[in-house]
Amino acid sequence: MTEPTHFTAGNTPDAPRSDQPDLLHALASDLRDVGYTLEGVADLLGDSAYAALNRDQLIPALIATEAAAAGEPGTAALAAVVRFWLLAVPQEAEVLDAALPRTRAEGLVALGLAKTTGTEVAAEADLRPYGWESGGNGGVEIWVASDLAAHQRPGVLRHDHVLGIGQASTTLVQTTIRRPAERALDLGTGCGIQSFHLLQHSAHVTATDISKRALAFTRFNLLLNAEALKIDPARPEERVSLRIGSLLEPIAGEAFDLVVSNPPFVITPRTAGEAAVDQFTYRDGGLPGDDIVASLIRSMPEVLAPGGTAQLLGNWEIPDGSAWDERPQSWAGPDTDAWFIQREQVGPEQYAETWLQDASETRDRRHYQEAYAAYLADFASRNVGGIGFGMVFLRRPVGERRIRRFEEITYPIEQPVGPHLAAAVERADWLADHDVSAAHLLVAEDVTEERHQRPGAEHPGVILLRQGAGLRRTNLLSTELAGFVSACDGDLTAGQIIGALEALLGGTEGFDGETFRAALLTEVANLVRDGFLLPASPD
């Protein structure tokens, strides 16, 4: 087994430098003092301009900050910093010197965050505030550096572009089940978003990427925010290990309690003679079709400790005439707990449009036409009629497998959904260890019942249970199941309630009590599994 390649470089070409601790400390202090925080930026811009900025629309923020730049010195200083980084508007050196007095324009250039052009200074990277609530520990606020995005710069993105905080990364953050872990792995770290969150509940985090520039951005972000992330800047390796390499290669032979990954899952046409420099490393895995996601899912159990879990995002191809989950089911091994939730399905045309727009490849008409046609030809070569996107939960069970779910949920769900997924896993384990018929059950607090019937009808034609939280499921109830749920107040066991229903509904010709009890008990277990019913005293 080869030794892992650790990344410790503090000076990588075309990336922020992390080998100047005094300047990093000065920058953090300046950003804090000028009020460059989520709340500070939101207050400066106002609600509508701030919302537009979160949609990558810069004009309202440009207007708001232009007015603020002429205001009071404190407001003008924050406006200059917002215009410099979030809006990518070059600033006079003396303006940045006043706004960031410890770092100054000279320090920004030395850190690789800026370049000078005459008397003006232009941003070489995006640096923005980011934060989240951290349970009972209050909030965490940091700053995150990444490459300037498509809406901040002209032309097609560079192929080694380091992505910032995007929809996919925040989706994974919200989806991840947060539990204490000794060793966590952030596979394909990018600028480090997942690692920042993992550090809040993991003793040690290993972050990997195939891109040296990505790891350089991650290292810069970790050390800039060392205090907030509880890292000793003199000994960062005590809490974080950065590894360079493809997929699972950098951690071969190691085991982790928790793995998260927003891998380069985008399905991109491959061409003969294509080199790695021709691919967008932040999104293209370099393999044909959805092989990158398939190979990760198949091999993930190798790096999970017993009881360890993995959560990742992915795309999967759906051949014409096939169910969406046919291929994903073939990837999940028989000895692995697996839960796939498809959140979206699009056709080849929409998929091509989305990712060509993502990399600003729409700006050259001829290139756009050729690239679009290549996408369609690539999908047609494998008879792909649709592409699914979703989230995946895997677990290496200590005993027998307990979870195997493949479901499509395309409507809005509660975020963060991670705590609800954790509760669902706990319920699956509870069902595996308990006799449901002996359980005392209660209706969950967020569950409501709806009854629909024709005017004048004696009985409802449709009875629905709805969840108001979590995955917000809806369940269609039979009359007997509705009667069961209405009796779930914790006093009687499930078996006793089913017995009472059998006595009430039985006695007719052809009624099979055993079949009735077994079918109803299966439906009750499903309601527990989905969180409509809960054990009154779970142990």
Measure the CA–CA gap between 511 and 518, rounded to whole angstroms: 13
Angle at which helices 59-68 and 73-85 pack, to 10 degrees? 150
What are the tens digits of pLDDT across the range 194-240? 999 999 999 999 999 999 999 999 999 999 999 999 999 999 999 99
Q: What is the pLDDT of residue 116?
A: 95
The letter for the amino acid at 489 is D
Query: With the C-alpha atoms ordered 25, 26, 29, 30, is the resulting torsion angle positive or negative?
Result: negative
Residue 406's beta-bridge partner residues?
340
Measure the CA–CA gap between 512 and 532, rounded to whole angstroms: 27
Domains of the chain in sequence order: 21-124 (no CATH), 433-535 (3.90.930)
- pLDDT confidence band for 1 (50 / 70 / 90): very low
Measure the CA–CA gap between 462 and 449, rounded to whole angstroms: 11
| Alpha-carbon distance values, 236 to 218, 229, 242, 455 (Å) | 12, 10, 10, 70
Q: Report phi then psi at 55, rounded to 5.
A: -100, 10
C-alpha closest to that of 27 among 236, 241, 227: 227
pLDDT at position 3 over 70: no
Measure the CA–CA gap between 79 and 56, rounded to whole angstroms: 18
Q: For residues 199 and 67, which has the higher predicted lDDT (pLDDT)?
A: 199
Residue 115 parent element (H or E): strand 114-117
The letter for the amino acid at 226 is A
Q: Residue 475 corresponds to which tokens in the numbers above?
A: 């369940």
Length reported for the chain: 539
- Judge whether 144 and 164 are in contact, CB under 8 Å: yes
| Alpha-carbon distance values, 126 to 80, 191, 260 (Å) | 14, 11, 24
What are the tens digits of pLDDT across the range 328-368? 999 999 889 999 999 999 999 999 998 888 767 777 788 88
